[in-house]
Structure 1
Amino acid sequence: MAGALRVRKAQRTGSRKAPEPEPIEMFSDEDLEGGFEDVEGQDDVDEHDVASEADVDEADDDGDDDDKQGTQAAAASRPKHTAAHFAIPSNEEIQGLKETSDLYMNNVFKLQLDEMLKQVAAPYDRAESLEKALRRIQAIFAEIPAIPAQTLAAARATLEKRVGHRVDIHFPQPPPSDDAPLKYAFEAPSALNLVGSWPLRTAARRPGLMDVDVDVVMPSSLFQDKDAVNHRYFYKRAFYLAVLAEAIIAADASKSKRTLLHADVQYADVHGDRRRLCLVLRPKAGSDTDFSKAKAVIRIHLAHENGIFGGRLAPTRNNLRASHVLGTDAADAADEPTPVYNSAIQADSLRLAHLVFLHAKSQEVPAFAEAVQMLKTWATQRGFGTLTLDEPRGRQIVAGSESARFVLSMLLAHLLCGSDDGNAVQRRPKLSSGFSNYQLFRGVLDFIAKTGFSKPVFMKSQPQYGLQGSRLDFAPFANALVDPSGQLNLLADWPAQSVELLRHEASLTLEMLNDGADHFGSIFLTPRDLFLYRFDEVATVSLPPAAGVAGADRRHAALERLLDVAQQALGTRATAVAASYSVDACQSWTAEPPRVRSVHVGLRLDSANAFRQVDHGPAPESADAPAFRAFWGSVAEVRRFRDGRILESVVWPVSSLAQRAALPRRVLRHALTHHECIRARSSLRFVGDAMDGLTEIPSSLASSAYISDPSVQGFHLVRSTFDMLTKRLRALELPLSVIGVAPASSALRSMSTFVPGPLNIAGLGGTVPDVAAYMPVHDVVITLESSGRWPDDLAAIQSTKTAFYERLAQMLTAELDGAQARVRYDLDAGDQIRDETCVEVVLSAGFAFALRIHHERERTLLERVIKDKAEPQASRARATRALDVYNVRFDLAPRHHAALAALSHRYPALGDTVRLVKRFVRAHMLSPHVCAEALEMVCVAAFTSGERMPPATGAAGLVAVLYLLSTWDWREAPLLVPLDSAINAHHVEGAPVPASVPFPPAARAQAEQQFRLARARDPAVHHHAWYIATEEDSQGSTWTRDAPPAAVAEVIRRLATGAIEYLRGAPVLKSADVHALFAPSLGQFDFVIHIKPSVHMRYSEALAPDSSAWLRTSKKRSFRNLSEPSLKPSVYGAQVRAGLDPVAEYVELLLHLYPGTFRLFYDEHGGTAIGGQWNPVRAQGDAQFKVLLHYSSEPVEGRDRVTLNKSAVLAEIERLGHGLVARIET
């Protein structure tokens, strides 16, 4: 055997002594002759004896004895306090306490970090079988017979004759021909080296398995200097790897105990490069080499001696001739530099040198290993770095970032070593070897966030570790981080957009670390690789076949070209563009190599520019005009603008708000099609397209039910009608003038699930189908001028307001043409001191409003009754209920509306996000249990959390809210929403909105204290499950005091978690997938009440309404020239029924009649099923019969007790729903 694998236990990382020049030395042939066999044969020898810690101790004898004696003497001189309850903290404890207070702001983060590091550490104590497997690999490779140099056909025949079956050799594209003059040979490896993170002890657990990397060094005699050209090196490499793979398979078949490995041989690419395949060995269960407990796989890489190709691998050299790649005459095409190709060859020669260098740094810096583990965990959760998975699991990898974990390790080492560039200050190390793991972690993130790698960053030369610096020209690379050898760009495979994404993620993480909130889970624990979460729009692009199979360089070039075209086309519409692809499962050796045929392109949009309709170009006579016209093609034109400018331009006409929202998709689709980056327009699918229509009713119903289609003008119609009504109210000659009109409706702040359309009142009962006859009522609060003529009695005030409403209704009917106005009482009216009346106004424009008068004196009188101890308890309770109604209607609702309306200007996508979130929650039949305002507050929290940039589209906002709901532990932590801070935050017009809005520290402390008190009073969480606090409302009681209950809160969390997993598992999101995401499950209900769709006034809002609900069906038509089937006859007639929702009122009636008997669930937006769950106490138990039991009961057979009479209750439910209920399913 020419060389052997170095298996050695890492030295103690606590020593700060400078390392020896060669801390990891290679054993010679004589040292390892039969060494593995001898060790393996001794059953009583521990695996660590290969390089025991005693050896390390002996190496460190100089000076250590004195230190030990001094330490022991100091310890002996200290007084012993064995009986004391308290002891003076040691120096280490004092340092730890100081470090915690200085670095982490609170000790919770430090405790979480320490616990995480324990969990991600590799299980080195379970690596006995792994080390045995490594020894047997060495024995197998040592016994492989040589194959003399010969043509490919002869070499393949020799190998197949030896193994007895056909051998697949995975050559890069284009493959070599059998009769080519290139000679293939095999000789035993000149060395085997254990490389990578495993011997460094910096390996960190991640989804899937960790990697134990073995470098097999191919003898230099197999290669010539010219083998760097035209894939010759990779062809020989592929043949050599095939011989190793067949040797492992043959060894298992031979059953020789000495070489029996019991492993499945698979393959995988290295850093996403199909030319650089490696072998992946997975253990078989039950064997003596079953190393599955190590949670790792063995990866066998191929390496060559550094320098055998001379200067051919410089980034500016060309090693792929056009005639070889394109199959044309070399004279017909220019040979450009091939930096990525050259780097792929160079990287195979430097793994051992990099290991030696990193090992030295880990010995010098005690916290190096833990800092690297933190960086690796952080990067993996964000999709940077390859994964070894048995199943893809929907994980995504940022394109080109497969080497991210190694790059981060090298970056940390770079910051600890300093640089060869710049002045004396710039050459100093940026991080100290005495820094803690957290300081090192922050230092690397800070460097990434602030460094533009477009100007090459050179690591300091390290000749003592075999990395002698040599300055080459790295200009061919868009970004460059040059290793200490000066030969390899560590970012060679990274597209520029992926580097920018890494910098962006580093910046976001630093902002979270500087925030007072607890973001530990978001930084280290929660996967953030899903592009739907990180970007505002995601396109799945099917690459052309040539780009997928024509070799790594052409694939890399095709991906970079796609990203460059996308970035140029979007311009200022997008602040970032990046690509990712799903993780491939590791394929079997005999299968075809997996190929990346599609990628996910993420777009982070700029809300201020993303939806503009005109792209301005250069002047027609300028030198840039031809390039502009060539880029845009047929859509480019010369236009004259109002300011007199004549420019090359591209105009994107739209006819509706939905088309305007889709403009970025339209622009990108045109650009990629025009530049042939995709095979066809159908090869490009957008998530936004799949989400379209979720908050719109069918166009056929909209055209017949509304005066104008609400999808064209959106909420402008209802707001303009409200503005008109406001002007008319102020102009009325009332006894007290109207001085204020405040909206308090979700539609008037553009946050209702559906855009309210102007209902065609004249068509009710005729052309307007009953399923689209619902007319929502929008709440408005009126403030009158002050007057001393108001009575000072609560009942009298309500009577006065009712009389005022009568007068107001008469005047509005007379002043507004076609308007209908009446005084309306609440459904539960009957309390004389509570506000329970309003003026309901139905305007001819097709909108309805409910006007309520705000009189401040009511609050004072109600609070006086509540505080008066002389008042009976019943009166005080009655006043409390009245005050709650007053606060919600006249204080909280208008203030909430004003705050959300202001935030919708700062965050333009907030309204669309709220609408989709409401649609999602209500589609899962949770309408009665979560109020709209609570969901709006959750959406604001997602926009201000700082865990991602504020979403610019509703789809991105929905995913952000789902992430928040899935990770929010509502039992243990409140949701702090910086509502006022977000409104008052300073923002420069045109600048990007900040990612986070910090919650004021004082308000945070108060809210957290109130939360702890609330949970202490109610540990079972019977009330206040969602604790949503703002700066002004630290008790979080505004909208979530009674709803959702704890059970529903847990259901929402599970729904959000399931939705994220569903999105993660969908490679291409289609409309059917989105509808499945919103489809409810009925299996968990004890009974289901099915509603007749034809009499459901909101059925048009259903996810997939069936036209048979409003159209007559006829088997045979009398005449062919008749129009489409006519509408079914109306049930509700021509009368305007503003606010009438029969299904909602039916549910309210059932809950009123059967309190505590069951819980009902339904979707207010057209849902035709009402799910019911019995109260288990009443349904499954029994009780002693007594008068006024409050629920329908029946005797328990054989016992003097009664139980809930379910059949009678269901029969009564069906009777009450006569005409509305189709059937009840149990």
Structure 2
Amino acid sequence: MRSESERASTSYDETLSREIASELRCSTSARRETFEKIREVERLLRGLKEKDVKAVAPGWFSIECEEGKTLRFSPPTRVRTIGSHAEGGCGNVPMNGNGSIVVDVALEMPKSFFQEKDYLDHRYHFKRAVYLEVLLKALSKSQEWACEIIDQHQDPRKPYINMHFGEKGAKRSLRLLLTIDAETFASIRLLPSRANLRSLELKGGERPASPHYNQTIAEDMYANVHAQYFAAASAKAKSLPVAVLLVKRWAQGRRLMDGVDGVNGLFISMLLTYMMEQGGQLSTSMEANQMFRAALAALASPGFFKKGLFVCGRPEEADEWQATFPHVFLGPCGRVNFMARMSPSAVAELIHEATLSSAELKKSNHSAFSDVLLGQFPAAVRYDLHIHVDVNVSELGAASERDLNARRTVEVDAAKIVSRALSDRAKLVRAVEVSNSSVNVIGSQTCTLWIGVVLDPENALRLVDVGPSSSDDREAKEFRAFWGDRSELRRFKDGRICESVVWDAVPPLSRHHIPAMAAEQALKRNMTGIDGIEWSSKIFDEPVSKIASASEGTTSAGLLQTLDRLAKRMRDLKEMPLKVNNVQPLSGAFRGTDPCPPKPHPLAHGAGIGLGMGDDDIPACPKTLDIMVSLEGSGRWPDDPVAIEKTKAMMAVQLAESLRKSYAMPSIVAEEAVDILFEGYAFRVHVSASAGGPHVKDMEENILQRAAHAGLIASVAARFPMYGAATQLVNRWAASHMFSPHLSDEAIEALVALLFINPGALSPPMSREVAFIRFLNLISSHMWYDPVVLDPESVLSIAEVEGIDRQAKDAPAMCIVTPHDKSGSRLTMNKPSAVVLKRLESIAARATSEMQAVLEGTSTHSMFETECWERFFKPSLSGFDAAFILRRTALPFPKEALFPSKRLYKRMRTQFENEMSVVDEDEDETLAQSIKLAKIPRKLLAKGPDKAREALLVGFDSTGCFISAAERRLGGTALLFVDKYGGDVVGVAFKPKAVHIDAALPESVSWLPNPAPPSREDVIEEIAVGVGADFVEKVLT
């Protein structure tokens, strides 16, 4: 028996599916208006008189064929609604790039309009175009609608009339599709083995078959048969049309219906009908949501399409069909393959998405069904690698000279080549032509292919592609022909000698390029007409290369090894009052999430070591690496909190002193921290005495939660190889847009981790680019009233999450729940505020649409251009009332900035009217001689390492100190924004006056009149002169 939770989930799904279907279905008034228009069209067309028309191809018909003298036109013999709309299953599912209602209407041409052998050499298609032109001219005379010609499936052989009507915001469309009687031509003439195009080149003395050409005629002949098949099934199961609507909504949400070679409405309707009538996957007693789940589960089952699908049983010609088409789904007529237009990569994509969605639906949470059904997952967020290929198709022949459109052939060939090149590096490869408009430009000689790749996490970045053994001459020859000069013989440890492609020359920081490089190499060698190739793995190379370098020893693995050596020394100390039990890393650099990790410092080594002869500047403020040092338990800890803190500080000092005596390790002891200098790094010690008893542990809640967070994120980074790089990129983006004072590094780590741990009906990201756009989408689309839950081990119950009080007055605007923070407030208790979160959402929304256009090939910017990545990282200054330019020499690491004030100056002068210098002319010389935090003066270095080490300001963050001091002094008067990674511009946004009045006076003096809020000029002066003395250089207002 089903559990209570399962029954509740099923009931929820049924209710939700009915609501969704109700929203997507046409309203009663809309259906009435639509069918009234159909009746008007029918009356108009049936009223047309028989007449002779010139047998001349219309201007919009691009296929060359023989023209005759005249044809005898007669009005359509039948006008009827077809498709799922006829059975109540069609509605506002986005079609043709919009959300308007689309209804298919079949216009059956009279059999007398054609001759017996018109199925040859495009004669049928020519007469069809002539007939359609007559109808177009007749319909265009009316002012009640607008008509245009569109090629169905972008096939010039299958034009139709698209008729628009309705007011703005309530658009309707009728697709007038021409059909013919099922007896017009002998069906045997349209089998896939028949050669009906004499223009095709002879092969081996025989004319090749024209299966795709034949299908274009058979589709028109049996359109009514298909409509009757679906209508009969819908009469048996009232839920079927609704289930078809749900599957269409699911497919369109993943853009599976956008590609010409992808799924379409007819395929979905016929597939679900087959599953119910013949396949046995669906039953007439199922509800619509159950049919939806069962259909996806069937598509996800291995080999669903492998043996072919046959509505009327396996025919004698089944082998012929399967030898011709990669996939076969024969309809009730036995002459139409619903998958004839679908490429292998499109079918693979359908199965891949159905597998992911079906797995997500098996989860018990209530949101799974709505996420799968309503989620918007364009190709940009579903594929890890995006490749754009410009191909010249001029040499591939005209449409009249080919069985399959040249552009479709290019798509299929490109997908095959990339699939072979990547092998098991890729789970899925999809290739489709980029379409920048709803109608392709006729006669265009070039096309741009978009190739998407879902990478395999285990094999994507391997350094060697092993080919066939050298003893297999045929396979080895094919391998060398495919790879060219990249192929080489290599002996492996097990003694095998194989053809191989080796990528070990690729630098460590560029290893994520390997799949794209392999695809590019294979495409250029095995595909003709390529004019250019670009790929997404390079988009953010330039900004990332400005931040860090693996050659400088700042990788997370290198830092952890250094910490292990330090921890061993700490545990070996004998002089400590309490033994060191454990040393845990806390900083993001240990997890690979810090975009600007500390670099080895010449003065942070042993005594007397350092100060090499290099010309590089030595920073005066080396960054710190926070570590938690856990001491063994003891019952002698004091009870007073102040005494406990002083004792812990004494323990930290004793630890530093013991390391100095035992290993000559220098340290810097200050009032606020103890820093141990070891192997070029400054380790900031946080002593934990939680083993000393509950009263001590209670005082360490903050550091213990920080340690728990570090452990959680470290486990995520270990599971997913791209997590660290993705978090660095997101962290840098948030800082570049000056959100550093409002969004903590830990909050960003948790949000990015959520994309990997709970990707929903998607694969975990395997590239920083797709992780980046998913992060932007999360920020811009999540309803932040609801908490986000990061729970890798599923230890939190639904009741615990639902019990979080989001109504509380002090509830944070952004709530991130983790196993060690069930309230969801630690990471975002005070920041970001609701106003800042709205700004973050707005910037993320714009970046999402831009990133999608770049990845999917519809942007005007090349992925290799500098302007491309700059569009995402250049900070927005809108909404700021003032800006402060800081003195760059007073910043510890000014070179880390991607956009210093010099690069933003023109935009700032446009944004702000006034500019004022804070520094007087008399102070210029004094400031010029003041200490420069970016480097230690050479005169000081000449005095030796010990003297220079004494001048270090370890961990000093001048910008952070300025922001903190300003916020304390100004309270809620203004919000401050800055890029903590070398940014020298501080944005100021003033709050409304009402905020200051409400929070102006404490209760003890509430009898006094509320003071007026400070003026903006007062606030600016307070920040620039009072708090930022000698630090703020200019003010713009």
TM-score class normalised by the smaller sequence: 0.7 to 0.9
* Matched position secondary structure for 1:204: coil
Do structure 1's residue 248 and structure 2's residue 133 form an aligned pair? Answer: no
Letter in 2 for 1:301: L
Match of 1:1096 in 2: 891
Q: How do 1:399-410 residues align onto structure 2 when only pairs under 5 Å count? A: 400-403=261-264, 405-410=265-270
Equivalent of residue 687 in structure 1, options 516, 536, 539: 536
Deviation of 1:688 after TM superposition, in Å, equals 2.0
Match of 2:607 in 1: none
Equivalent of residue 544 in structure 1, options 387, 392, 413: 392
Equivalent of residue 579 in structure 1, options 401, 419, 431: 431
Match of 1:1173 in 2: 989
Match of 2:832 in 1: 1044
Deviation of 1:454 after TM superposition, in Å, equals 4.4
Cα separation, 2, equivalents of 1:226 and 1:477: 25
Cα pair 2:997 2:1011 within 8 Å, conserved = no
Match of 1:512 in 2: 360
Match of 1:875 in 2: none
Match of 1:118 in 2: 22
Cα pair 1:656 1:713 within 8 Å, conserved = no
Deviation of 1:1213 after TM superposition, in Å, equals 1.7
Cα pair 1:1091 1:1221 within 8 Å, conserved = yes
Q: How do 1:781-820 residues align onto structure 2 when only pairs under 5 Å count? A: 781-787=628-634, 790-791=637-638, 793-813=640-660, 820=666
Equivalent of residue 565 in structure 1, options 408, 417, 423: 417
Do structure 1's residue 1003 and structure 2's residue 797 form an aligned pair? Answer: yes
Cα pair 2:415 2:430 within 8 Å, conserved = yes
Deviation of 1:783 after TM superposition, in Å, equals 2.3
Match of 2:65 in 1: 176
Match of 2:162 in 1: 280
Match of 1:649 in 2: 500
Letter in 1 for 2:128: R
Deviation of 1:822 after TM superposition, in Å, equals 1.3
Deviation of 1:1149 after TM superposition, in Å, equals 1.4
Cα separation, 2, equivalents of 1:594 and 1:211: 29
Deviation of 1:1055 after TM superposition, in Å, equals 3.4
* Matched position secondary structure for 1:1170: strand
Q: How do 1:423-462 residues align onto structure 2 when only pairs under 5 Å count? A: 429-450=280-301, 452-461=303-312
Q: Residues 350, 491 of structure 1: CA spacing in aligned structure 2 closer, same or farther, 3 A cutoff?
A: same
Deviation of 1:777 after TM superposition, in Å, equals 0.8
* Matched position secondary structure for 1:230: coil
Match of 2:346 in 1: 498
Cα separation, 1, equivalents of 2:450 and 2:170: 33
Cα pair 1:976 1:1004 within 8 Å, conserved = no
Q: Residues 1027, 107 of structure 1: CA spacing in aligned structure 2 closer, same or farther, 3 A cutoff?
A: farther
Match of 2:589 in 1: 747
Q: Residues 655, 602 of structure 1: CA spacing in aligned structure 2 closer, same or farther, 3 A cutoff?
A: closer
Q: Residues 358, 857 of structure 1: CA spacing in aligned structure 2 closer, same or farther, 3 A cutoff?
A: closer
Cα pair 2:900 2:985 within 8 Å, conserved = no
Cα pair 1:922 1:1162 within 8 Å, conserved = yes
Match of 2:970 in 1: 1154
Letter in 1 for 2:575: L
How many residues in Structure 1 have an aligned counterpart in Structure 2? 969
Deviation of 1:224 after TM superposition, in Å, equals 4.0
Cα separation, 1, equivalents of 2:243 and 2:530: 45
Match of 2:674 in 1: 839
Letter in 2 for 1:519: A
Do structure 1's residue 301 and structure 2's residue 177 form an aligned pair? Answer: yes
Q: Residues 1186, 1047 of structure 1: CA spacing in aligned structure 2 closer, same or farther, 3 A cutoff?
A: closer
Match of 1:311 in 2: 188
Letter in 2 for 1:802: A
Letter in 1 for 2:20: M
Deviation of 1:1189 after TM superposition, in Å, equals 9.0
Match of 1:601 in 2: 451
941-950 vs 623-632, greater mean Cα deviation: 941-950
Deviation of 1:456 after TM superposition, in Å, equals 4.1
Q: How do 1:61-72 residues align onto structure 2 when only pairs under 5 Å count? A: none
* Matched position secondary structure for 1:125: helix
Could you report, residue by residue, the CA deviation over 1:58-114 in whole angstroms, capped at 9, with x for unpaired residues? xxxxxxxxxxxxxxxxxxxxxxxxxxxxxxxxxxxxxxxx99986551654444333
Match of 1:696 in 2: 545
Cα pair 2:634 2:691 within 8 Å, conserved = no
Cα separation, 2, equivalents of 1:1209 and 1:141: 74
Could you report, residue by residue, the CA deviation over 1:411-433 in whole angstroms, capped at 9, with x for unpaired residues? 221122125xxxxxxxxx43221
Cα separation, 2, equivalents of 1:698 and 1:1200: 49
Match of 1:612 in 2: 462
Could you report, residue by residue, the CA deviation over 1:330-369 in whole angstroms, capped at 9, with x for unpaired residues? 3678644433222222111122111112111111112122
* Matched position secondary structure for 2:321: coil
Q: Residues 888, 1179 of structure 1: CA spacing in aligned structure 2 closer, same or farther, 3 A cutoff?
A: closer
Cα separation, 2, equivalents of 1:545 and 1:319: 24
* Matched position secondary structure for 2:247: helix
Match of 2:564 in 1: 723
* Matched position secondary structure for 2:724: helix
Could you report, residue by residue, the CA deviation over 1:207-241 in whole angstroms, capped at 9, with x for unpaired residues? 32232222222333343454333333323322332
Q: Residues 726, 1200 of structure 1: CA spacing in aligned structure 2 closer, same or farther, 3 A cutoff?
A: closer
Cα separation, 2, equivalents of 1:1106 and 1:612: 42
Cα separation, 1, equivalents of 2:651 and 2:290: 68
Deviation of 1:120 after TM superposition, in Å, equals 0.7
TM-score in terms of structure 1 length: 0.73
Match of 2:120 in 1: 229
Deviation of 1:660 after TM superposition, in Å, equals 0.8
Q: How do 1:233-382 residues align onto structure 2 when only pairs under 5 Å count? A: 233-249=124-140, 252=141, 260-283=142-165, 290=166, 295-307=171-183, 308-321=185-198, 324-325=199-200, 330=202, 335-382=207-254
Equivalent of residue 202 in structure 1, options 70, 80, 89: 89
Deviation of 1:850 after TM superposition, in Å, equals 0.5
Cα separation, 2, equivalents of 1:1087 and 1:1108: 17
TM-score in terms of structure 2 length: 0.86
Match of 2:683 in 1: 849
Q: Residues 334, 560 of structure 1: CA spacing in aligned structure 2 closer, same or farther, 3 A cutoff?
A: farther
Q: Residues 916, 1189 of structure 1: CA spacing in aligned structure 2 closer, same or farther, 3 A cutoff?
A: farther
Letter in 1 for 2:507: S
Cα separation, 2, equivalents of 1:916 and 1:1165: 13
Match of 1:15 in 2: none
Could you report, residue by residue, the CA deviation over 1:727-774 in whole angstroms, capped at 9, with x for unpaired residues? 33233343343331111111111111234332455679994458x766
Match of 1:907 in 2: 720
Deviation of 1:649 after TM superposition, in Å, equals 0.7
Cα pair 1:941 1:976 within 8 Å, conserved = yes
Do structure 1's residue 1074 and structure 2's residue 869 form an aligned pair? Answer: yes
Cα separation, 1, equivalents of 2:195 and 2:852: 41
Match of 2:694 in 1: 860
Could you report, residue by residue, the CA deviation over 1:1075-1106 in whole angstroms, capped at 9, with x for unpaired residues? 21233222212222222445433332222458
* Matched position secondary structure for 1:1204: coil
Match of 1:75 in 2: none
- Pairwise CA RMSD: 3.6
Could you report, residue by residue, the CA deviation over 1:818-838 in whole angstroms, capped at 9, with x for unpaired residues? x54111333xxxxxxxxxxx3
Could you report, residue by residue, the CA deviation over 1:408-453 in whole angstroms, capped at 9, with x for unpaired residues? 211221122125xxxxxxxxx4322122111111121121111535
Percent of aligned positions with the same letter in both sequences?
A: 25
Do structure 1's residue 554 and structure 2's residue 406 form an aligned pair? Answer: yes
Do structure 1's residue 965 and structure 2's residue 779 form an aligned pair? Answer: yes
Could you report, residue by residue, the CA deviation over 1:825-860 in whole angstroms, capped at 9, with x for unpaired residues? 33xxxxxxxxxxx321233x4322102221126663
Deviation of 1:261 after TM superposition, in Å, equals 4.9
Deviation of 1:970 after TM superposition, in Å, equals 2.2
Cα pair 1:741 1:780 within 8 Å, conserved = yes
Deviation of 1:378 after TM superposition, in Å, equals 1.3
Equivalent of residue 155 in structure 1, options 51, 55, 69: 55
Deviation of 1:470 after TM superposition, in Å, equals 7.7
Cα pair 1:1159 1:1173 within 8 Å, conserved = yes
Cα separation, 2, equivalents of 1:793 and 1:1143: 35
Cα pair 1:766 1:1130 within 8 Å, conserved = no
